[in-house]
Structure 1
Amino acid sequence: MSAPRVALSTTTAEPGLTGGRLDGIGVYSRALLGALPQAGWQVRPFSFAPPGGAAALSVGRALPRSFAGATLRDLLLPSALAPLRLPADPADGRVPELFHATDYRIVRIDRPVVATLHDALPIAHPEWCNPRLRRLKNWLQGRAARRADHVIAVSQYAVAELVECFGVDQRRISVVPNGVGDEWFEAPAAAAVAATLARYGLRPGYFLFVGTLQPRKNVERLLEAYLALPPVLRAARQLVVVGAPGWRSAELTRRLAAARQNGENVVWLSALTEHEQLRHLYAGSGVFVFPSLYEGFGIPVVEAFAAGVPVVSSNATSLPEVCRGAALEVEPSSVAELAAAMAAMARDEALRARHVAAGRRRALELTWAETARRTSAVYHSVLSS
């Protein structure tokens, strides 16, 4: 008997649509694409291409309509006529048993739909999101989420928000944490790490942050905390910020540039997209700092754990659940507390060693293989109900 087949949404994993750099949802979609076959599933990747943009797809096959077109069809046509039909596989004529929407692009499809809702940020904290068409987008998202046959939340923290903000029935939600790939547990070749660091003018032992520059990531306070450190520590350890500019990041990018011009050891890498180079940057760092105000999960923290880097993390939203004591947690609104934690982690070797060991243990519990196994259990539950 052949393995069951799932249609997986891979729009956010398409380099041609994302500019080459994957955000957390893109990392999640790509990871499931690789891990689900080991959990017993044949995976057919599908992507929503913009009108006339199918040539930009390299990961998934284009769905019959763009997301905007499929959403409009949902709104205008009676439900009996609205479902999007998944195309059969030309090789064997089989149609996938279900569709997994990994990225909030949820439309009616002629198969059961599992939807991963990573957080409820646009509704819970609209002040951190682009206001353009926000109300319409939130209404459409909530409407679509309620129609999914089953919802996956990436943390227990997210469940209450999904119930409150999207109106999802809690009985239709399963918690399946995100993970980290096996390669993160392996130390990259020292020569490769050295070459990447030299390319970007970095010295080993720096403070590292990874994430899109946007208000909820709290990078402004991270910069303030770094500049509050003693001069001797700033001279010894750079602050390296890896992330593309996002919404409302103009003032932050100005401040990063100003710090650099003032002779501070601040490096902003805005266009780094290569996965191996990112691994090299983790390997060359001394402390990973993640002071985010809001996370549905926080994949970079687990990447740092697996890479053997001690972590200073915010104690907000889902992060304590993800870290389980493996990070040195701080109140993200306190610059002084953040600076003290950064200094302690940089100077206290015993503290560093404890958190490195705890982080590796925690990362071993959060692998993409385990995510795929638990996701497979959700699929089987939906198909048997």
Structure 2
Amino acid sequence: MEPELTGGRLDGIGVYTQALLANLPGAGCVVQPLSFAPPGAPERLRVGRALPLSFTLATIGDLILPSSARLAVRDLGPDGQPLDLYHATDYRIVRMDCPVVATLHDALPIAHPEWCSPRLRGLKNWLQAKAARKADHVITGSQYSVRELVECFGVDERRISVVYHGVDPCWFDAPDAADVAATLTRHGLRPGYFLTVGTLQPRKNIERLLQAYLALPPVVRAARQLVIVGAPGWRSEELVRRIEAARQQGENVCWLSAVTEHAELRQLYAGSGAFVFPSLYEGFGLPVLEAFASGVPVVASNATSLPEACQGAALEADPLSVPEWTAAMHTIVRDEALRTRLVAAGQRRALQLTWAETARRTVAVYQSILTQ
């Protein structure tokens, strides 16, 4: 398994991979990280041992060789021992001479092509379809994703296991108050703001969130900023213009486009008064779980996998309804009893979804395959 990196920063797949590498040993699994990174690649792209072929060469071989051909990886285990099983934590897999598990997080490029860059959509569709066919077993993060994998890739539901994602224990520990205050001061923030986290792209639905915020009563907007944390992504140009226009008109909107330090992100969660996540599509929704663990009340979309992830611990709203989001945001800041209930429910939910539990359930999947 190998983590993904985007611009030098771990993305969601990278966080998942890193968490498994850290927690699988504690669940009784001996792990050997393997990497498709080519020779001479930067250190940050090389994890554990290099596979005998680059992904490009292995894929070409996969296409031209008989389906019975397998990439020999049995001598790449710890101390040169045979590998019992290979786990690809994204869709970049080839046929191996041992059982293969693939984690497929969603079927977004096929299910909703309008939310994916055309430049990458065809490649991702092809790679995910091949991964779904070649894997002996598939892991995904929600029951919602199971339905999509069956419908979009034709995966036999009997070959799919749901293993929920988790949250690192550090999220349950409140950051130092002085550090939080310093971070807020540096960014010109006041405690109690609405916070959202995610790359600026259409499916994150930040444009409707901005509209909902601007429809709040002036007294609420004056007291509570809207803080958007996320790098600009595909088709974000118009949203960026709208954010800048709101700021120029004196609205309490702050966009932080370059938060890369984990400690700083935790401090931004800690300083918030409510976490708002209006996403149109999620395979799971890790930011919501991080907000739960941080003790922040959450307003979340009622779409795709998010109700399954939240299990009633968030105030839910229709991501397509701006008025519904305005009402939910207004409610969460003025109803203290509701806020208290949501914080408690969120922390209970986060305690059920730790990376240690994810690792334990993942090992159970491995064992079921190896004993078949």
Tell me if both proteins adopt one fold, taking TM over 0.5 as the criterion: yes
Q: Distance in 2 between matches of 1:108 and 1:84?
A: 9
Report the CA distance between 1:68 and its aligned residue.
2.4
Other structure's SS at 1:43 match? coil
1:26 is matched with which residue?
A: 14
Does 2:156 match 1:158? Answer: no
Contact 1:330 1:337 in 2 (8 A): yes
**1:299 has 2:274 as partner:** no
Query: Unaligned regions of 5+ residues in structure 2, if any?
Result: none
- Cα displacement (A) at 1:52: 4.4
CA distance in 2, matches of 1:269, 1:129: 23
- Cα offsets for 1:151-173 (capped at 9, x unmatched): 01100111111011111111111
CA distance in 2, matches of 1:263, 1:62: 53
Q: In the alignment, does 2:116 pair up with 1:116?
A: no
For normalisation by structure 1, the TM-score amounts to 0.92
1:62 to 36, 39, 50: 50
Structure 1 residue 30 displacement after superposition: 1.1
| TM-superposed deviation, 1:380 | 0.7
Deviation, 1:93, is 1.9
Say whether the 8 Å CA contact 1:113–1:148 is kept in structure 2. Answer: yes
Residue equivalent to 1:380: 367
* DSSP 3-state at the match of 2:161: strand
Residues 84 and 107, structure 1, Cα contact 8 Å, conserved in 2: no
1:75-134 residue CA offsets vs partner (Å, 9 max, x unmatched)? 122233342536535x72213321111121121122211111111101100111011253
Corresponding pairs, count: 372
Alpha-carbon separation, structure 2, partners of 1:350 and 1:48: 51
Q: Do 2:37 and 2:46's aligned partners in 1 also have CA atoms closer than 8 Å?
A: no
Partner of 2:76: 88
Structure 1 equivalent of residue 29 of structure 2:
41
Residue 133 of structure 2: aligned partner? 146
CA distance in 2, matches of 1:363, 1:205: 21
Answering whether residue 198 of structure 2 is matched by residue 211 of structure 1, we say yes
**Is 1:312–2:313 an aligned residue pair?**
no
User: 2:336 is matched by which residue type in structure 1?
Assistant: E
Alpha-carbon distance, 1:263 to partner: 1.6
CA distance, structure 2, for counterparts of residue 60 and residue 271 of structure 1 = 29
- For the residues of structure 2 that align with 1:44 and 1:68, how far apart are their CA atoms? 22
Out of 64, 81, 90, the position equivalent to 1:76 is 64
Contact 1:152 1:173 in 2 (8 A): yes
Pair 1:365-2:352 in alignment: yes
Structure-2 residue corresponding to 1:349:
336
CA contact (8 A) 1:70 1:84 kept: no
TM-fit CA distance, 1:73: 1.7
Moved more, 158-167 or 140-149: 140-149
Distance in 2 of aligned mates of 1:117 and 1:269: 30
CA shift at 1:214, angstroms? 1.0
| Structure-2 residue corresponding to 1:221 | 208
Counterparts of 2:296 and 2:124, CA distance in 1: 38
Q: Distance in 1 between matches of 2:188 and 2:98?
A: 51
Assess if the C-alpha contact under 8 Å between 1:305 and 1:359 holds in 2: yes
Aligned to 2:177: 190
Give runs of aligned pairs for residues 266-345 of structure 1, distance below 5 A: 266-345=253-332
Hey, what's the Cα distance between the residues in 1 that align with 2:312 and 2:66? 50
**Partner of 1:240: helix, strand, or coil?**
strand
Instruction: Describe the shift of the 1:181–1:55 C-alpha distance in structure 2 as closer, same or farther (beyond 3 A).
Output: closer
Q: Tell me the alpha carbon deviations over residues 357-382 of structure 1, each in whole angstroms, 9 at most, x when there is no partner.
A: 11111111111111110000001111
Q: Does 1:11 align with 2:3?
A: yes
Q: Is the 8 A contact 1:84 1:108 kept in 2?
A: no
CA distance in 1, matches of 2:126, 2:8: 30
Task: State the Cα distance separating 1:62 from its structure 2 match.
Answer: 3.0
Give the Å deviation of 1:35: 0.9
Query: How far 1:21 moved relative to its partner?
Result: 2.5
Report the Cα offset of residue 54 of structure 1.
5.0
Relative to the length of structure 2, the TM-score reads 0.95
Q: For 1:136 and 1:182, how far apart are their aligned partners in 2?
A: 36
Identity of aligned residues (%): 72
Query: Which residue identity is paired with 1:148?
Result: A
2:117 aligned residue: 130
- CA drift of 1:311 comes to 0.2
The 3-state SS of whatever aligns with 2:79 is coil
Change (3 A) 1:225 1:133: closer
1:274 positional shift: 0.8
CA RMSD of aligned residues (A): 1.7
Report the Cα offset of residue 66 of structure 1: 2.7
